[in-house]
Structure 1
Amino acid sequence: MKLARTLGTLLTGGGSLAAWLSLAGGFVPALDALASFLPLFGAATLLGLLLAWRRPAWTMVAALLGLAPVAIGVVPELTREIPAARAGTPQIRLLTHNVWRSNRDPADTAQAIIDAKPDVVTLQEVDGSFRPMLAALSQYFPYATQCSPGCDLAIFSRWPIVDSDYFLEDPGGRKFGPAMLWARIAGPGEPPFTTVTLHYPRPTSRDQAVRRRDVARALARIDRDPLIVAGDMNLTPWAAAMREQDRAFDPLTRMTRALPSWPRAFPVLPIDQLYAGPDWGLVSARRLPATGSDHVPILVTLARR
């Protein structure tokens, strides 16, 4: 019993301290990476309280102290408003997936993408073992982007891609902003829309903050009403960096709400995201079963508002 209580006290103290430190990420960027694990810190605190249970009053104080930062970080994500689609409007199914350079079963991953029957597919890390599967996907999706050498991104579509590039373009055709793959897609009987896919560095890299800032500035220069942005952003919703990006991407809304997508064996981190402009409302967003990638696919259904 004594050993269990000691372990419980350590879990409670360590989980609480880590949770409070993660909330400081908005002021100390180096601590923001801790926020990715905020729900896990809450779980550790709860487990510790169960093991170290003594007096109800002491336990209640410890619970409030340890779980308050978890609630502060997680509840806003669970309660934020996401615009709903209007009933009866045409829907579009978008699948975003980091297929992983070291994919253990590329054929299975490709088949899972096909079986999901998406209209548009955005892929990251296609430059590894998955690359031979791009030809297989093109048999089911007649339209695809062509990316520059060194690009690890791809977009497939059931509908015509009328324009695409690795850099955004102004009305005069001049390229600007950081590299990110985009495709202008003409859906049946609907105005064209633009889909962008990108892949951020890990949050421990200082390059990620620069990348996020440059992407937000570039997107602000184009029409964002029909825009859809999806990819592996290596950010969880309870990180200060994600909240900052949500504000910077406005009027786009993040349609993915706390959908764990990594790691494959036991997804706990929601790091794959999809944003959509004011033209779109959410029908559904769900995680698909794991395949050979270290990420799981995310399927989002949108409809015009």
Structure 2
Amino acid sequence: MRLVGSTMVTVATLAAWIALLGAWSPTLDAVASFLPLFAIILVAGLLIARRRALWTLLIAAVGIAPMAVAATREATRAIPPAPAGAHELRVLTHNVWFDNATPAATGAAIAAAGADVVLLQETTRARGSLIAATTRRFPYRTRCPEGGCGLTILSRWPIRASGYFLEDARGRKFGPPLLWADIAVPGLAPVRVATVHYPWPLPARRQAEKRAAMSAALDRVDRRALIVAGDMNLTPWSSAMRAQDEALAPLARMTRATWSWPSVLPFLPIDQLYAGPAWGLVRVDRLAATGSDHLPLLITLGQR
């Protein structure tokens, strides 16, 4: 058993250091998503091999270093707070799951969450049931184009404009297909929100292209009051997530290691929300399971 423990420590250490190579290899960067799991394996291995030779402890110390750096970087990352008494906006982001067997129950949970605006992903099959269950709370929603609705936005207040591509001053469409909407929030200028869904990090090229297109598109719009959220299939420990944080500035990522997938035992924080400098964070709430394989996140923002 002590040998098993030592092996666990060694494997976890190697995996943690391989994850660091993600800064140069997008394929290996996917390994970084599992750093918390490697930490659990390392600690469990130490407990099993507690009477083993000193070299096991030395290997563990080497292995815990990249894990600690990643955790500290995320824990100390600056998130702008909302001022006291700020005008609040409650935004819910949720991947409702393509294979959701109880979309009506998911819709009821969304309606009861107290959100003002809802940004949804994977709504192709569930859209009808979701709308039926949420219409009283959210009488306004984005239109569904031909070919289906993988993304949907629900709102308590009128939607002044929406689309699956951003538009320049001349009305010409550009950028990746993300769903956006301008919401007529009482007491505020229209607020633009957008919902996105990135592919899995492997194969790496597909997601990298999506992130690059997103960043380039947002370079051409006013980011001050913009809110972008969705299932990004990125965790805070990855080099890709850190690169995106920089590329989307001055938007700030308001979600800090909020574990959201899978819903049964969430160990990957892959659902994220970014907001422009017009917003500060009040709080982030991870809500109960709804029938999806993701947990919904309710982010309360305050106008700065």
TM-score (norm: length of structure 2) = 0.96
In structure 1, the partner of 2:189 is: 191
Contact 2:107 2:129 in 1 (8 A): no
List alignment gaps of at least 5 residues for structure 2: none
Q: Distance in 2 between matches of 1:299 and 1:186?
A: 20
Instruction: Specify the code of the residue in structure 2 equivalent to 1:67.
Output: I
Q: Tell me which residue corresponds to 2:15.
A: 18
Deviations 1:21-42 (A, max 9, x none): 0111011111011011011101
- Structure 1 equivalent of residue 155 of structure 2: 157
SS in 2 for 1:132: helix
Please give the secondary structure, in 2, of the residue aligned with 1:21. Answer: helix
Which residue among 200, 203, 214 is the counterpart of 2:201?
A: 203
Residue 50 of structure 1, CA deviation: 1.0
1:248 is matched by which residue type in structure 2? A
Against the structure 1 CA distance between its residues 167 and 46, is the aligned structure 2 distance closer, same or farther, given a 3 Å change threshold? Answer: same
Deviations 1:265-305 (A, max 9, x none): 10010000000000000000121011210000000000011
Judge which range, 219-228 or 131-140, deviates more. Answer: 131-140
Q: What SS does the corresponding residue of 2:244 show, helix, strand or coil? A: helix
Contact 1:147 1:166 in 2 (8 A): no
Q: Do 1:23 and 1:73's aligned partners in 2 also have CA atoms closer than 8 Å?
A: no
Show the counterpart of 1:137. Answer: 134
Spell out, residue by residue over 1:24-63, the C-alpha distance to the aligned partner (whole angstroms, 9 max, x if none). 1011111011011011101101110111112685454233
> Counterparts of 1:56 and 1:83 in 2: how far apart (Å)?
47
CA distance in 2, matches of 1:18, 1:59: 16
- Matched residue SS, 2:44: helix
Determine helix, strand or coil for the equivalent of 1:197.
strand
Shift of 1:149: 2.4
1:42 is the counterpart of 2:30 = no
Q: Would the aligned equivalents of 1:147 and 1:165 in 2 still touch at CA under 8 Å?
A: no
Give the RMSD, CA atoms, in angstroms. 1.3
1:68-107 residue CA offsets vs partner (Å, 9 max, x unmatched): 1101222101110000001111101000000001112212
Partner SS state of residue 273, structure 2: strand
Letter in 1 for 2:65: A
Q: Percent identity?
A: 55
Following superposition, the deviation at residue 135 of structure 1 comes to: 3.0
CA deviation string 1:127-164 (max 9, x = no partner): 02454222332232111111322330000111111111
Q: How many pairs does the alignment contain? A: 302
3-state DSSP of counterpart to 1:284: strand
| Letter paired with 2:81 | A
Counterpart in 2 of 1:232?
231
Rounded to whole Å, the distance in 2 between the matches of 1:92 and 1:56 is: 56
Matched AA of 1:25? G
> Does residue 290 of structure 1 match 2:289?
yes
2:118 is aligned with 1:121: yes
2:242 counterpart letter in structure 1: R
Aligned partner of 2:265 in structure 1 is: 266
Name stretches of at least 5 consecutive residues in structure 1 with no aligned partner: none
- In the superposition, relative to structure 1, how do residues 11 and 279 fare at CA in structure 2: closer, same or farther (>3 Å)? same
Q: Which amino acid aligns with 2:268?
A: L
Tell me how far apart the structure 2 counterparts of residues 35 and 131 of structure 1 sit (CA, whole Å): 37
Determine if contact 2:121/2:152 at 8 Å carries over to the other structure: yes
Distance, in Å, in 1 between the alignment partners of 2:158 and 2:106 is: 24
- The answer as to whether partners of 2:46 and 2:57 remain within 8 angstroms in 1 is no
Q: Secondary structure at the match of 2:61?
A: helix
- How far apart are the structure 1 equivalents of 2:248 and 2:116? 24
